[in-house]
Every structure is written in structure tokens, then in C-alpha cells.
Structure 1
Amino acid sequence: MASVSIVVPTFNRPKLLPRAVRSALLACPEDGQVVVVDDHSVIPAISVLKDISDTRLRVITNGYEKGASGARNFGVFSAFGDAIFFLDDDDEMLPNYCLRVMKSGFHGSLAGYCAIEHVELDGSTQTISRRGLDRGLIPDSASMRKKIAGLQMGFWIRKDVFQELGCLDPLLTTDEDTDFTIRMCSENIGLWYDPDPGVRQYSHLTANKGGQLTKTTPKDVVARNYLRTLSKNHATFPPMHKARWFLLSRFLRRAIEAHEYRLAWRVAMDIKPLYLSICGIAFLSVKTIARPRRHLTSTLINRLFIQR
């Protein structure tokens, strides 16, 4: 059986990290490893984990670009596993997940992800899954949204494929997972989906915005990260491919949320091909009209055209 490495990037989460690492060790095969990549935390991860004694655990300091992407890239390069699993430092990996993947998905695909067990504030749990997807390779006919896998969704990939695709973009402080899986799609690399949960997340962490980087990053920064993903990837698909509209519309939504109206209109008017630009302009017109307490569309368009 191929070897497994679980990569856990961490930054300033000393109370949550031990729980994540213990869950990873429970899920990790006996001949696998758990690689914790400390992105220069104030309290070093090695001291936080000093009470965990397991030969499979390796704690290293990020030697690449600072940030979640750089830490994950460094972890992958430092790992010996054929299969790389990613786990966030505030989540838990369920005990049988790696074994499930290695017995099924790893031999049928190059990468994959799974459903999530979500723990509510009252302690109850629910499974968050992608509707309409069964266990196995995601069909080509599936929407682009279903082909996008977050790295917190039990994401795994063959190490050689991760490296051949150029790893995660260190300039993206968020949305690096969408950028990466979009690149996978452009190379026709299919994803394996498991409808049974492989990771556990907690509502109290997402409720106080401690669980997801996208929720803690300023909205204007998120919008610009989405724009980078759009700029890098939309032209890799054929002109009429649905992925182009998927990337443009998700950026426009984020730009509107951040009140980055001028940027949104500039991108919509400049993007190619023409049909995509027309769709973007129509989309913005509808969205801005639907927000009467914000800038009226007519006033906004006049200002934008004057200042272009």
C-alpha cells in the first residue's frame, strides 16, 4: 500500500493544535507520518506538542514563503508519503478516513475530498456534503462548483501530482484551494468524492470567525484574491467553457460584498471574450439594483465611466 503523510500547517493556535494532531495520529497508518508545519508561531508548535510522543509525528518550521500556502508547500516537500492529506489546525480528522481513501479513491484517482461532519453549538452534528455526488470519480458533467475542493474538506492528492501542478500559489492569502483545483480541472485531473465525512469541524469556531481564513480576511483582500484566481485561470479554458463564468461571477459577488464597485465594473468591461463581458455587466446591473441602500446603478455607472 502507498504511504501516507498528513500535513498540518499551524499559526498561533496553541489550544487547538494538539487536538488536531492527536486526531491525525489516530487516522494515520502505522507506517505513515504527521507533518506539522509551524508558520513561525509566537508559541512554537514544538513546545505546544511536547507532551505528544509518537515517532510518526514530525514538527518543522516553515522554510518557504510565510502564509498558509507556503507552509503547506513546505510540508509537502518535507513529507515522504505518496498520498498527501491536508488538515487544518482547528479541525479533526476522523479515524478511518485515510484507510478509506487508500482502499478506494487512491487507486481510482489522483486527488479527492469528502463530506464534513459539522458540530453545532448545541453539540449535535450534521453532515455537510455535495448534493448529487455519489462515492467515486466526480463526473465531467458535474458543475464546476462541485469540482472545487476546499483544502479543509479532507483534501488529499498524490505528492507527485501536487508538485507537477506547481503547488499552491503563495501569493494567495485565501482562495488558494480554488486556484489549485481549478488548475487540476484545466488539466483534466479528476477528483474522487467520498460522501461520508472524513473531517470534523466546529460551529463555535466558525461562529467567532476563528475557523476559516476567508471569514477573517478583510473583504477587499478576499476580492483581490478572487481576482487573481480569475486572472490566472479563466483563459486556460475554451472560450465558451462554463468555468469562465464560474470564476468571473464568484469574483463579482465578492467585489460587491467588499463595495469594490469600480474594480468589479472595470473587470467586467475588460474581460474577454465579449459574451463574458456582456454577462458580467448584466450580472452587476442586476446585483446593484437589488441593493437599494447602496449605490444606485445609474449613478455608479456614470461615476465609473467618468473615472476609467
Structure 2
Amino acid sequence: MPVASIIVPAFNAAQTLPETMASLLSQSFRDYEIIIVNDGSADDTLDVANAFATGPRVRLVSQSNRGLAGARNAGIAAARGKYIGFCDADDLWMPEKLATHVRHLDRSPDVGLSYSGSELIDIRSRPAGVSQKPKLKGVSMAHILLRNPVGNGSAAVVRREALEDIAWRPGFEKTHDWVFDETFRQSEDIECWMRMMLTTDWQFEGVPGLLTRYRIAPGGLSAATDRQLASWERMIARLRPRNPAFFARYENAARAYQFRYLARRAVSSFDGDTAWDMALQSWNCSRHPLVHEPAKTLTTLGAAAILRLAGHKPVACVAKFLAERARTGERTLQ
């Protein structure tokens, strides 16, 4: 049995899957398997995946489309490793990522989920000039809800026992247990991590370094803010009964961060009306982001206001300037 399994959910990912697989096959830690889950793709993803699944290291699972949560669950069901990592089919892992997480989990028996920081890249795999540098130690349930230091779905490597502790099987499910809730098409990551925090004693801890390269597709997100907000609110409603006192204390602050995140993404898509609306709703929900991250909060408000009043050109110029500073090694405001 391999020490680690890497699950690669793939839906219409024929263009990016080869680069993702190249990064995974280049891991310095060699005792691992890769499970590609073709989640009902309509393009050439199946053919691309079959080209990689020619030896014992790479296996292929195909199913009708069940969404990202369903693809991950299918991969978990097929995985044999005691540590299970996730890498979406358009993201990349640095060569030392798996070795770093395996070493971390081997040395930290109380840690159920190990994660890293991430460098954001564009559609051409170029650095976007932005990185996720999360809190690594002393992570509480409040940190997960408010800021989700895990960051993205390709950053985590999880102990199998931790996944088994939160698995269940709905009465209608015929093929495998659920770890991720397949009724969610968004917010499935944080729902899973919060459920693990609420119901188990496993700790979350990060490792230093930007070991994941997380791809941001241009545009598109601000048009889906209503769906994303609805999914996030449903996650809160689903988990709130497990610890009402906790949610009473932190829910509004978490909602403020969620609105701020959507405001920043709307700014990046040059959607001024959405950005301003999300920024105002963040401000009205809670002052927690302002108190704890004043620069980022005020920058978001300012960018949203400028974009709404003056259009996208001033914001685009600032974004280009910050990205250029990042590429030349100067510190940028994240």
C-alpha cells in the first residue's frame, strides 16, 4: 500500500490536466499513488487521463457528473494511502509538497489536516502577484470559519483516520461514503473542515512555504455571487445546531469576511456595482475585518468605491503596478 494518495478531480479539464499531472509525477516523495476522477467530462479529459493511467502509480475512476465534492468522495473511496491529498485538475504542486506534508503528519500524530500556503497563478500558469500566506499554528475553529487558513482545495493533505471520523452514507447512496457533502456545489471545502473541527479532536496545522500553485480563472466569479452566498449561508445553517453558542459569537464576523472576499473578487473582475454592494454589506455585518486587518479592509473599500465611480481603468492600473512589484520581488499588500 502506498503511504499517500493524491486525488485529482477532473471535469472538462483536458487543457490543464497534463500540467497538473506533470507536477504531481515530479514529487520528490515517491511512495504515493494518483487517482484521477473523471467526473462526467464532455471534452477529452477521459482520453488525457487514460494516457497517464498506464502504470501502477496512476489509476482512473470515471463516473457521471457529481460535482467536486462527489469526485473527491469517489477518489477517497478508491484511495489506499494513509495520507490523502487533493489537487484540482487545474492546480499545481511544488515538487517538495508531498514530502513536506508526509513528514509533518508523521511527526504530529494529533494533526488531522496539514496544509500549506499557495501562490496564485493565471490561466497561463504565470504568477498573479498574489499569494495566500495563512496562519500555520494554533488554528482554532474560529480561525477556520473566519479566515479558512487552508485556503483552497489543493492545499490540504489529510490523515485518512480524520476523514473516516467524519464520513457518513446517506440512505440513497449506493456506491461510497460521503466525506464532502455532495449537496454542496460551492463551500464544500469549508463545510467539511468545519464539520471536522466541530465533531472531532483533530488539529489543523500548516507547513511553511508556498507549496501549492492555485489557478485563478479570469472573470466569471462576480456573476455567481448570489449562488456562492446562498451556499455559504446554507453551510452556516447546516452546522449552526452543532454549536449554537459558537455561531452566535462568530457568525456575523465570518459573514463580513465572506462579503469582503466577494468584494475583492468582484474588483478583480472589474464589476464595480457588485464590488461596492459586497463591500458595504461586509462593513454593515461586522467591524471585525477592520479591526484585525485594517489595511486589507480599507483597500477593498477604496478599490470598490473607485471602480464604481471612475470605472475599471484606475483599478486596472493599480493592479498592474502591484503585480509588477510582486514579480520584481517587492512586497505587495495582500
Specify if TM > 0.5.
yes
For the structure 1 residues 239 and 98, does the alpha-carbon distance in structure 2 shift closer, same or farther, using more than 3 Å as the test?
A: same
Alpha carbons 2:252, 2:285 under 8 Å: kept: no
Number of the residue aligned with 1:269: none
Q: Distance in 2 between matches of 1:13 and 1:49?
A: 10
Say which structure is richer in helix: 2
Number of the residue aligned with 1:265: none
AA at the equivalent of 1:237: N
Number of the residue aligned with 2:332: none
Give the % identical residues: 19
Q: Distance in 2 between matches of 1:115 and 1:184?
A: 20
Q: Distance in 2 between matches of 1:148 and 1:236?
A: 22
Q: Distance in 2 between matches of 1:16 and 1:142?
A: 32
Number of the residue aligned with 2:204: 191
Alpha carbons 2:132, 2:151 under 8 Å: kept: no
Map 1:61-210; keep pairs closer than 5 Å.
61-62=62-63, 66-108=66-108, 109-119=111-121, 123-124=126-127, 126=129, 128-130=131-133, 133-134=135-136, 136=137, 138=139, 142=143, 144-166=145-167, 167-187=179-199, 188-202=201-215, 205-209=216-220
Alpha carbons 1:62, 1:70 under 8 Å: kept: no
Q: Could you state the TM-score of these two structures normalised by the residue count of structure 1?
A: 0.70
Alpha carbons 1:127, 1:197 under 8 Å: kept: no
Q: State the Cα distance separating 1:46 from its structure 2 match.
A: 3.6
Q: For each residue in 1:224-282, what CA deviation from the matched residue of structure 2 results, as whole angstroms up to 9, or x when unmatched?
A: 2112101011232252554433455457779999x9xxxxxxxxxxxxxxxxxxxx9x6
Q: Distance in 2 between matches of 1:111 and 1:29?
A: 18
SS at match of 2:245: coil
Segments of 5+ residues of structure 1 without an aligned counterpart are 210-214, 260-279, 285-289, 294-308
Q: Distance in 2 between matches of 1:122 and 1:74?
A: 28
Q: Distance in 2 between matches of 1:240 and 1:47?
A: 47
Q: Distance in 1 between matches of 2:70 and 2:143?
A: 31
Q: Distance in 2 between matches of 1:140 and 1:251?
A: 16
For the structure 1 residues 137 and 76, does the alpha-carbon distance in structure 2 shift closer, same or farther, using more than 3 Å as the test?
A: farther
Q: For each residue in 1:123-143, what CA deviation from the matched residue of structure 2 results, as whole angstroms up to 9, or x when unmatched?
A: 456562335x34x55367857
My pick for the range that moved more, 165-174 or 97-106, is: 97-106
Number of the residue aligned with 2:224: 218
Segments of 5+ residues of structure 2 without an aligned counterpart are 168-178, 267-272, 274-281, 287-300, 309-334
Q: Distance in 1 between matches of 2:191 and 2:262?
A: 17
For the structure 1 residues 90 and 143, does the alpha-carbon distance in structure 2 shift closer, same or farther, using more than 3 Å as the test?
A: closer
Number of the residue aligned with 1:287: none
Q: State the Cα distance separating 1:98 from its structure 2 match.
A: 0.7
SS at match of 2:115: strand
